[in-house]
Structures are given as C-alpha cells and as structure tokens.
Structure 1
Amino acid sequence: MKHFPYAVAGDETVTYVPESAADLDLFRRWVERKARAGETIGADTETTGLDIFSPTYRLRTVQLGDARDAWVLQVEGRPEMQEAARWALKSLPRLVFHNAAFDLLVLDRHLNVPLATLGPKTTDSKILAHLYDPRPKHEGGYGLALKELCARDVDPSAPDTQGDLTAVFRSIGETKATGWAKIDIHHPTYLQYAGLDVILVSRLLPVLEDRLRAAGIRKTLADFEHRVMLVCAAMERRGMLVDQPYVADLVGRLEEEATLHAAKASRYGVTSVNAPRQVADALVGMGETLTETTDSGALKVDKSILLDLADLDTQWQPRGTRTPNPLADAVLRSKRAGKWSTSYGIAMRDGLDDAGRIHPKINSLQARTARMSISGPPLQQLPSGDWTIRRALLPDPGHRIFSVDYSAVEMRVLAALADETVMKRAIAEGRDLHGFTAELIYGPNYTSFHRKLCKGVGFGKVYGGGALTLSRQTGAPLPDVKTAIGAYDRTYRGIKRYSAKLQREARADGYVVWTPVGRKLPLDRDRVYAATNYAVQSTARDVLCQALLDMDAKGLTDYLLLPIHDECLGTAPADIAEDVAREVGKTMAMTFMGVPLDTDPEVGGASWGSLYMKKAETMMEHDPWYAAHPDEAAAAEERRR
C-alpha cells in the first residue's frame, strides 16, 4: 500500500493507493463502514482527457474519500481494481462529485456503472456552487471551479497541487491538455492530486449546503437541477449520427469559402480578416464612419458592426436599408466559413465514437441566468434558419428526426411575469404578437418593416439590447428606434412597471434578482437594467427544463437528442415519429402564470437539416453534395413530406 500524507486546513490527511489483494480488502472494509454509516463520500476519476466517447479514451483511476482519507484505485488495465471500484460505487449510498455529469458518463461508459445507478444518489458540488453564485470568479463571482472554491472555504493552499501537476506535465514535455494521458500512473504528484480532490470535495460539500441555506436557496431547486443534469447526461450519452461523407466534403467547401472571401478582403488591403486594426483602417479608408471603441481605444469592428455595414440582419438576411459594404461582407463570410470549418466540420469529422456518432457536451446549468450551453460542437450557436451544418446530423437508421419548439416563449414568459394585460390578451386570441404590436403602434396599415422593428424592440426587452444595437440590426435610424421603444413602453405599460419594480427590488436586495423558482441572479451594479432580461431568460430556461423532466417521467427521453434554447430535437422510428413528436409537443406545452406556452412539433426526414428546407430542390440548388446525389435528395423530400 502506498501512502501520501498531506495537511489540509491543518489536519493530517492520507491518500491510500492499494497495490495488493490485501490492500483491496482494507479498502472494502472502509467502504462497508462508510456505507453502514450512510456517509456522503467524495468521488472522482482521472482520465486521458475530455473526449469521453473517443475510441482511444481511457479511464485511469477512480478515487473515493471522506474529509481525512482518500483511496485511489488504479483501474487502467487492472481488472481486480476495476471490480473493486465498481463494487464500491454501487455499494455507497451517497456520493458527491464536482461536475458530476462528466464523471458519471465516464463511469457509465468505461467502468460499466450505469448512469441510472449512480445518478440518483449523486450530489454535484458544482451545481450547488452555481446556485449560490452563478458567476465565475473573473466576473466577480464566488467561483465555480473546485480548487478556487476550496481555496476560499477549505484551505487557501488548495490550488497548489494543480500547479505542481502542471509542472510535472511540463517536465515530461506535455501540456495541460495532453499531460493527463501521458503522465506515469504511478507518479506521486499525480496520485496525491487524485486523492486530494475527493478529500477537498468532501470538505466543501457541507460548506456549500450551509451557504445555500443561509442564502435562502431552496433544496427543491437543487433537486430540480440534479434531475435535469441526469436527463441531459442521458442525451449526451446517446449522441447523434454524423453523415461522414457529407462532413468530409463540407470541410473542404468551407475552407474554400474562407479562402475565397479572404481574397476579396485582400483587394482592400486586408491581409488577415482576423486583424481588427487592418479591417478598421480599410473601412475608414472606404468612407465608413466607425465611432465605437474597445477598452484599449481601438476602433470596434465586431460582428454586429460588420453585419450593419454589410446590410445584413442577425440571420444574415439582406435588410435592404443601405448599400452593402463589400469588405465588411467579405470579412464576415471568410471568418464565418473558417469558424464553421473548425468548430463544426472538423469537430464532427474528428470527434466521432466508434459507431460514427458525435456526443455534444450538454452543460445543463451554464451562464449567469442558468441557460444551457452545448459544446463540441457548439450547436446552440447556429443561426436559426441555417441548414448547412444541421444537414450533417442524422436520425437513427429507420428513424425520422423531429423538432418541437415553443412559440415565442420568451415574449410569453415576459407577458406572464409582468402581468401585461394587453399582451396577454393578444396571446389568448392567438394573434401574431409582433404584428399585433405594430398595429397598435403604427395602425392597421403597418409595414413588414414596422413589424420587424417591433419584434426587435420586444426581444430587446428579453435579451437586453439597447437602441443602438437594434438600430444596427434593423438598419433603422437611431431616432426612429428610440421612438419605437417609447411607443412600445406606452403600449405595454405593464412591462415597464415590471422592469422598474425588478430594478428597485434588486438595488434594495444587494443587486440580486430572484426568479419564480427561487433562483438567485446577481446583477452588475452598472447593468441593473439587465434585471428584466435575466429574469425572462432564466425563467424560459426553467420552463424547458421542467418539460424535460415531464418528458422523462413519460419515458420520452429515449427519443430525445438535444435541448437547444427553446427547442427539443429528437429521433423516432419512422412509423411512430409523428405520434412521438405530438406527444413531446403535448408534454412541453403548459400554462405559465395564466399564459399558454404553445409548441410547434415538426417531423423531418433524412437529417436535422431537412427541418430547415422547404424543398429538396432548394438543397440541390445551394448544396453541391445534394446536387451530386439526386436520388437521395428525392428520397429525403419524400420522407420530409
């Protein structure tokens, strides 16, 4: 038996590393004592990296521990250690992980300990930390990483082991990313690091629980988040099939597109589209007026400014409000094609498991408002109307893909929270909300531009966009936008009252907004105006999460692939796809504070992209891959119908 003593907060702790059968007997007796006592035991894994589903991925160690003792089982290549770890994880009644979804999926896939077995008895200390303060440390928050939390609440020297391990990686010629796979599994620093993590999380848990109680955070909210985490982990485990020939072709096409538009930008003296100063200087030289600056004083040429200059809206559709600047257009398109090639094409091409599936990571509790995020690839960042990337993701064999999303959920949640009677009446009557608003403001002869402007103002209330942002997005002159905002506030007086009330209460309560479920959302002192969009976005997210739990209770999780903003994507056998989509839509639909939250189920065919195409002919017109496969295109359209 190897022993690694270490002082934590003045207490002597020991990390044990069993080597023999006799050592494992001691470990088993320790587990049995802890199980009889009903203690919550810290748990963790060390692996070769983050790509859990890669064919070359390896689980190296499993560690369990309490506030004083840790056991590190070197399971890599050792069946007896694997069996001991498996038995212990199943025997212990309560476990605490930090960032539990990752470790639960690792253990499910690489140690054959089912997610359904460990999940219900697991506490995630990262979830508790997020509920206490969702801001990372660099945003002024309490912190979300295990080491920084423990440095505050357990032992100020807690981060030292991380630094020591990084130094070891460097000494063997590796980085933080590659060192986990290459470091000797017997290295003392590696083993001590592994053991200390479970000791630290065991000490952190009661501190976080006390903090939540003192802050008035309900235990029911923590339970809710743990259940949501498990549903999302099940979807991540399932993954999505990738059309590999299409992706291989797509990467090449995107790289060519990036090069083509970079060449167009070079005609205006821009040798790198990723050099903001070059782009700014060239635009000014073309007669454009740039007024906004970065913190360092440089002229801003971010995406929103370039879209405005290129006369494109946020969905990259022509606005028709000015002459498009060709340099801004070229820079935008070159950067987007380059990003899509890397973030989507290459990620899907190189991130497959041995069954040809990709497993996007679903962080069920992200951002200050708790909105979810998806990475590897970041599918929630795709433009809402684009099919190019979505075309690469397929339903299971013999299945059809389906999507169910809410109808204007943020606006309906806003109407409910604000008790805005005029807006609630329009929703109850089934009116097009943005058209209804335009008619109230501009009269029955309002134009499509008026509707677009009213829609922008409404979403500005939800997402916090100001007059300048809306002016850029719509191309409307700033005075017209300000006039529209004023008219909107007079039309929907309940929203303005609600916003003022939230801001007043936030200032009186330490710059905090509380949502209907009891979630605490800290505000920045210089952005108190964001109170309304924080409350709306967080509540809309919780609506979707409640729907996920309701679907799970009905056994529908087996059909789900991804939650994306206000949408649930799924796949079902072709003969029941319509029925499943309807049932998902029925389950997601609900009444929130008297406002109906309606859903829109849609069943596609050959790919996720099929949900975004009117006709297969349109695909053939714009996609060379489809043009080269007319039979499949025809079949896709038939399935879509």
Structure 2
Amino acid sequence: MINHSFPVLGQQIPVRVPQTVEDFQEFQRCIIDVANRGERLAYDTETTGLGTFTSGFRIRTAQFGTPDQAWVLQVEKGSDLQRLAAWALRTAPALSMQNRNFDMLATDRHLPGASLEMLAPKTVDTYIYSHLADPRRRDQGGVGNGLKDASAHYVDPSAPDTAAGLYDVFHTIGETKDTGWAAISIDNPKYLSYAGGDVILTSRLLPKVEARVRELGINPSLVPFEHEVGYVCALIERRGMRINRGHTTQLSAELLEESARWAEEAKRYGVANVNSTKQLSEALLGMGEVIPERTAGGAVQVDGKVLKRLADVDKDWEPIESRTPNPLAMAVLRSKRASKWRTSYAEAMLRTADEADRVHPKIGALAARTARMSISDPPFQQLPSGKWEVRHCVVADPGHRMISVDYSSVEPRVMAALSGDERMTAAILRGDDLHNLTAASVYGPDFTPGQRKVAKVVQLGVAYGGGAKTIAAQTGLTLAAAQAAVKGYKRTYPRLARYIRALQGQVIRDGYTLRTPSGRRLVFDRDAAYASFNGEIQSTARDIFAQGLLEIHARGLTPHVLLPVHDEIVADAPDSEAREVAREIGEAMTMSLRGIPLGTDPDVGGASWGSLYMKKASTMIANDSWYAANPDEARAAELARK
C-alpha cells in the first residue's frame, strides 16, 4: 500500500493507493462496509484531458472517498484495476460527484461495466447544489461553483487547489496546464495526493451545499429537476453529431483564405493587422467616424459591438439599414469572423471528432447565472442564427434527415406572461407580430422595414434594461430618436413598463436577489438591478426549454436528439419518419405559461444541419453548382418545394 495524505482543517486525511492483492482486498472490504452502512461515496477521475471522446483519451486514476479517507485506483495500469473500479461503482448504493456529467461520461466510455444509465440514478452533483445556492462565479462576486471555490467557502479556505497545485509540477516536466495531465507520472506523490483530495473535499462539500439550499428556501423540486436535465444532456452528449470530414476540411481551408482576403481589404484603409486596436481606431477616426465608446483605460473602443454598428449590421449580421456601412469595419469583422469560425468550429470539429467522425459538444446543462445552458467544444451556441456554412459540416446519420424544433418567439411570450400586459397578451393570442405592433405605435401604420427592425431592437432593449443610449448605439439612431422610440414602446405596453419598474424596486429591497416562477434564486450586482427583468426572462425561458427536454425524454424521443441549443432542439430521424418525429418533438415541447401558449416550429431539412438554414428552395435549385455539390440537400429542397 502506498500511503499519502491530504490536508483538511489542519488534519492530514489518509489517501491510500493499493498495490498488492491484499491491498485490493482491503479496498473491497472498505467499499462493502460503506455500502452496508448505506453511506454515500464520493467518486472522481483523473484523465488525460477534457476530450472524453477524442483519440488517445483515457482515465488514469479512479478515486473513491468519504470525509475521512480516500482510495486511488491507478486504472491506467491495467484492465484488472478498471474492472475493480467498475465493481466499486456498481456496489456503492449512492455516489456524489463534482460536475458529474464529465466523470460519468468518461467512466461510461472507458470503464467497462459502469454505464451512464447505472451511475446517474444514484449520483448527486455538488455543482448543482452549489449553483442553486449561488449561481455566480467567483469573479462575479459569488462563491463560485468549481470544486476549489466551493470547498474554500464551505469546507476549508486553506485546502490546496488540487488543479492549480499541479501546474508547477507540469512546468517542471516541460508541459503546460493542458498537456500535463497526460504526461505526469502516474506515481507522482502530489498527483496521487491531490486525486484523493478531490473526493475528500467532494464528500465534505455535499452536506454543506445541501444545507445551504435548504436554508435559502430554494424550491426543493429544482434538485431532482436539474439532475434529470443533466442526465438527459449527458445522453445527448454521448450520442454526438456526425460530421462530414471532407467538407469540414474544405471549409477550414476556405475560411483561412477568406480571413486573409478580408485582411487584405483592411490594408487598403491603412490597417495592416486587423487585431491591432490602435491601427483600427486611428483608421476609422481618419475616415470621419464618431466613436464615443471608450475602454477602461480611455482608448477608443473598437470591439465587435462598435464595429457592427459602424458596419450597419445587428448581432446576427442582418442589415440594420440605419446608415451607410463602413467598408473597413465590415472587412475587419469578416476577417475576424472567418478566423474565429475556422479555429472554433472547423478545426475544433476535426480535432475533437471520435473514431466514427462524431463530435460530442460538451453541454453545460446548468451554466450561466440565469441557468441557461452552454455548449462548448465546439461552441455551437455562439453561431449566429440563420448562418448555414458551419452547420453544413454536421450531417445526419445515413438514411436520416435533419430536424429542427424551436419555440416561436419564446422570450416575448415569456415577457407577456410575467408582466401580464394586456395589450401584448392580446396581440399574442391574436397571432399578431409584436414587432409590427411596436413599429406602428412608434412610427405609425406606414412604418418601413427598417423601422420594424428598430422596433425589434427597442422591444428587446427596453425589456432587458437597455436605455435610449444603448439602443441608439445598436441601431444608429440619434439619441433623440432613440428616446422617442423608447417612449413609444412604453406607451404601447404600459403594464409591461410598470412591471419592470416594480420588479427592479423589489430586487433592490430583497438584497439584489430575485425568485423566478420556478423558485430559482438569481443574484444581481448592486449596480445591475436594471438587468433583473432580463434575468427573469432568460431564466424562465431556460426552465421552459429544460422542461420540454424532459418531456421529449419521457416520450422516448431522446435517441433522436443531437443537440439542445438556445431554444432549439436539433435532431435527426430516418427519412420516412422525420416529419412524424419532428411533430412529436414539437408536441412534447409545447406548453403554456400563465395562459400564454408556447408553441413550436418543427422543421425537417436534408442531410445536413445547414440545410435547415439555407436559402429558399427555388434559389438553391437554380444554382447548378450548389445542386451538384449537395445532392441530399437539393433533394430535400425539391421535396420542400413540392
């Protein structure tokens, strides 16, 4: 037996690393004793990295712990140790993990006999409890929901940071914080001590965060709700999405060329480096642009928001039509976007795809302050809506068609339900276009398409706490025109405006906290009460989406789902069943909130995810080169046209 220890509250807690048959028998007796007492066992893994499904990924150690001891099995050393770890997981009646989806998926894939379906029902996640108690990261003024931050707050502020504590060791062997996990010796004392420390801290953290959730009076039903949502997301992540490797490789090359082409265009205006804020700001000012935004250091701000305003496009790259687009701003935006898409999507898909050319984006089921989900590796959630180029890399299984089901204007409908605004509610129930209603109120019945776009920005901006100054910056309106538009919006929906004011006041009186309709606790910065309605809308919309995901699972449709992103479910199904599956998913997601219907828009495309976002069928069919290069999508387009 190799014996190490981990310090907690001034005590050295034993960390045991069995080596002999007798050691392994002692480990088994310990697991059986814990099981007989009905106690919960903490579980964690050390792996070669974060790419669970990538080539070369492996579990190096599997560790089990209670508040008073830890056992570390060096499963990298052989299949017998892997089977022993799987046996312990099956034997333990109850488990706890920190960020359980990662460890459950790694275990499901790399430790035979310990499946995701077996682990999930008996595992609680300390991250979920911690997030419910305080959803803020540490840099946002919260406790923080990582193991180190949560343990420092609830367990022992002096306990070592088991991740950062190894970075120095990695550097001594010539590795980085990313590559060191695979390269460090499996017998390194600090590596083994810290592996055991993670389960000791997890075991001690759980009762603390459970008590904190109870103390705050958080809706107790959110605990099983979040665990079930997380489990469904793990099932989806495990399935993954198939990519067309040839097309993805071609796209990477095209994006590299596109980035360079637009960078050359920027050079015409004196910007030799599109990433140089100094060159860019000087060139734009030299072109006569007025840029009031400044950085914290006082320099001219030329971030994406400013450049999009100057290029006359909104956050989704749709033309605003409020000014003449600045060609330099557009060139820089396009060069940077192409470079980002290449790195974050095309290259990321090629790098993270498994042996079957499937990518498995990591789904953070409970991520932001508002509980909204996150998608990473690749970050598909950050793709602008309506853009098909990157999505075209993702393809359905052979003989299947892609499906997209999303909510119809879910956030405006949530706004109406929460505020009880009669005019907005009536418009929704009649099926009116809310942006048309706002535009008519502000500009009269003969409003232009450009004025409708402004009305859309105003509706979302005011509801989310943005004032006339922010709206002017987003739309290119003068401040006076933006102020008039805001007044018109509030005149259109007076009860909504009163609700927002009342909510902000209540949040301040409640110590900058808010309870959502589901009973979730949101916490706001002291200078950000204006964001409370935004937080309530996003959190409520997320919980609606999560409930829809659970209903999809209850109906046995999860095997079709490829990804939950924003308020959209991406799925696939055999060609003959695709429309029926899309309809069933849409029905599962459909519900109401305080009398406001929350309907869906099911859509069936062709063989690629991008086919759901491409041009109208007639335009595509007329393009012979596109038709030849994309026969599956062309066939789907023909079917859609018919």
Is the shorter-chain TM-score for this pair beyond 0.5, marking a shared fold? Answer: yes
Go from structure 1 to structure 2 and tell me whether the alpha carbon gap of 1:27 and 1:183 turns closer, same or farther (over 3 Å shift): same
Contact (CA 8 Å) 2:441, 2:488: kept in 1 or not?
no
CA distances 1:293-338 after superposition (whole Å, capped 9, x unpaired):
0111111011111111112222223333322211111111100011
SS at the partner of 1:155?
A: coil
Q: What's the offset of the Cα at 1:632?
A: 4.9
Summarize the alignment of residues 246-265 of structure 1 with structure 2, pairs less than 5 Å apart.
Answer: 246-265=247-266
Whether 1:201 aligns to 2:202 is yes
CA distances 1:493-512 after superposition (whole Å, capped 9, x unpaired):
12112111211111111111
Whether 1:582 aligns to 2:583 is yes
Contact (CA 8 Å) 1:461, 1:532: kept in 2 or not?
no
Contact (CA 8 Å) 2:321, 2:450: kept in 1 or not?
no
Residue number in structure 2 paired with 1:527: 528
Contact (CA 8 Å) 1:161, 1:193: kept in 2 or not?
yes
Residue number in structure 2 paired with 1:435: 436
Summarize the alignment of residues 369-518 of structure 1 with structure 2, pairs less than 5 Å apart.
Answer: 369-518=370-519
CA distance in 2, matches of 1:405, 1:57: 34
Contact (CA 8 Å) 1:283, 1:327: kept in 2 or not?
yes
Summarize the alignment of residues 162-173 of structure 1 with structure 2, pairs less than 5 Å apart.
Answer: 162-173=163-174
Residue number in structure 1 paired with 2:542: 541
Q: What's the offset of the Cα at 1:467?
A: 2.5
Q: Which has the larger displacement, 172-181 or 478-487? A: 478-487
Residue number in structure 2 paired with 1:352: 353
CA distances 1:196-238 after superposition (whole Å, capped 9, x unpaired):
1000111111111111111111221121111111111111111
Residue number in structure 2 paired with 1:12: 12
CA distance in 2, matches of 1:535, 1:229: 21
Contact (CA 8 Å) 1:104, 1:119: kept in 2 or not?
yes
CA distance in 2, matches of 1:6, 1:390: 47
SS at the partner of 2:401?
A: strand
Contact (CA 8 Å) 2:441, 2:489: kept in 1 or not?
no
CA distance in 2, matches of 1:623, 1:291: 47
Residue number in structure 2 paired with 1:242: 243
CA distance in 1, matches of 2:481, 2:9: 61
Go from structure 1 to structure 2 and tell me whether the alpha carbon gap of 1:164 and 1:541 turns closer, same or farther (over 3 Å shift): closer
Instruction: Please report the RMSD computed on the Cα atoms of aligned residues, expressed in angstroms.
Output: 1.7
CA distance in 2, matches of 1:237, 1:368: 25
Residue number in structure 1 paired with 2:52: 52
Q: Which has the larger displacement, 270-279 or 528-537? A: 270-279
Whether 1:116 aligns to 2:117 is yes
TM-score by structure 1 length? 0.97
SS at the partner of 1:526?
A: coil
Amino acid across the alignment from 1:605 = G
Whether 1:130 aligns to 2:131 is yes
Q: What's the offset of the Cα at 1:342?
A: 0.5
Q: What's the offset of the Cα at 1:49?
A: 0.1
CA distance in 1, matches of 2:36, 2:220: 25
Q: What's the offset of the Cα at 1:640?
A: 5.0
CA distances 1:33-60 after superposition (whole Å, capped 9, x unpaired):
1111111111100000000001211111
Whether 1:90 aligns to 2:97 is no
CA distance in 2, matches of 1:207, 1:317: 48
TM-score by structure 2 length? 0.97
Amino acid across the alignment from 2:17 = V
SS at the partner of 2:72?
A: strand
Whether 1:103 aligns to 2:79 is no
Contact (CA 8 Å) 1:453, 1:481: kept in 2 or not?
no
Q: What's the offset of the Cα at 1:76?
A: 1.1
CA distance in 2, matches of 1:371, 1:427: 24
CA distances 1:546-569 after superposition (whole Å, capped 9, x unpaired):
011111111111111111111111
Contact (CA 8 Å) 1:308, 1:472: kept in 2 or not?
yes
CA distances 1:583-633 after superposition (whole Å, capped 9, x unpaired):
110110101111000111000012011111234674588997x36626455
CA distance in 2, matches of 1:144, 1:262: 40
SS at the partner of 1:293?
A: coil
CA distance in 2, matches of 1:56, 1:117: 25
Q: Which has the larger displacement, 187-196 or 611-620? A: 611-620
- Listed as ranges, the gaps of 5+ residues in structure 2 are none
Q: What's the offset of the Cα at 1:126?
A: 1.0
CA distances 1:46-86 after superposition (whole Å, capped 9, x unpaired):
00000000121111111011001101011114122111110
Summarize the alignment of residues 527-606 of structure 1 with structure 2, pairs less than 5 Å apart.
Answer: 527-606=528-607
Contact (CA 8 Å) 1:411, 1:462: kept in 2 or not?
no
State percent identity of aligned pairs: 51
CA distance in 1, matches of 2:632, 2:586: 29
Contact (CA 8 Å) 2:6, 2:196: kept in 1 or not?
no
Residue number in structure 1 paired with 2:78: 78
- Listed as ranges, the gaps of 5+ residues in structure 1 are none
CA distance in 1, matches of 2:252, 2:432: 43
Q: What's the offset of the Cα at 1:161?
A: 4.2
Go from structure 1 to structure 2 and tell me whether the alpha carbon gap of 1:273 and 1:62 turns closer, same or farther (over 3 Å shift): same
CA distance in 1, matches of 2:133, 2:36: 31
What is the number of equivalent residue pairs in this alignment? 640
Q: Which has the larger displacement, 130-139 or 469-478? A: 469-478
Q: What's the offset of the Cα at 1:397?
A: 1.0
CA distance in 2, matches of 1:15, 1:582: 54
CA distance in 2, matches of 1:90, 1:166: 33
Give every structure 1 segment of 4 or more consecutive aligned residues whose post-TM-superposition deviation is greater than 6 Å.
620-624
CA distance in 1, matches of 2:86, 2:206: 23
Contact (CA 8 Å) 1:606, 1:639: kept in 2 or not?
no
SS at the partner of 2:221?
A: helix
CA distance in 2, matches of 1:123, 1:622: 54
Amino acid across the alignment from 1:195 = G
Contact (CA 8 Å) 1:165, 1:189: kept in 2 or not?
yes
Contact (CA 8 Å) 1:231, 1:552: kept in 2 or not?
yes
SS at the partner of 2:315?
A: coil
SS at the partner of 2:178?
A: coil
Amino acid across the alignment from 2:97 = F
Amino acid across the alignment from 1:57 = F
Residue number in structure 2 paired with 1:150: 151
SS at the partner of 2:46?
A: strand
Q: What's the offset of the Cα at 1:21?
A: 1.7
Go from structure 1 to structure 2 and tell me whether the alpha carbon gap of 1:462 and 1:540 turns closer, same or farther (over 3 Å shift): farther
CA distance in 1, matches of 2:212, 2:269: 57
Residue number in structure 2 paired with 1:24: 24
Residue number in structure 1 paired with 2:227: 226
